Amino acid sequence: ARDRACYFRNKIKHLPLRMFVPSDYASNCVTALSPTNPNVDAHRIFEIMKDEYDIWICPNSGELASKVFRIGHIGSIEQDEIDKLVKAFDDLVKRKLL
């Protein structure tokens, strides 16, 4: 999980996302992210990823539902799946949705 978390976090540095928890305190199991643009709804990002890219990220609930989503790093996750996720995020940026 640590290697996948590090790989993912390095691959997204160019994206308009910030880690919700500072990297010094972040778990190796999950990365909580928040769009840097306050007008981007994090739950909408979850819905688009699920519906249009067939990629499941973890939505948040409660008062943070529109501000934070999470990416899991445990289980059977391959590097090419992480690359597919990053490519989808890149596409959202091109579409001006992220």
Is residue 53 a contact partner of residue 96, using CB atoms and an 8 Å limit? no
pLDDT in the model for residue 21:
78
Q: Which of 9-23, 54-68, 84-98 has the lowest mean pLDDT?
A: 9-23
pLDDT in the model for residue 55:
96
Structure tokens at 89: 């995020």
pLDDT in the model for residue 15:
98
Q: Convert the pLDDT of each residue in 15-45 to its tens digit.
A: 999 998 777 778 889 999 999 999 999 999 9
Specify the pTM: 0.91
**Straight-line distance from the first to the last Cα atom of the chain, in angstroms, rounded to the nearest whole number:** 26
- Mean pLDDT over residues 50-77, rounded? 94
Kind of pairing between the strands at 30-35 and 58-59: unpaired
pLDDT in the model for residue 58:
95
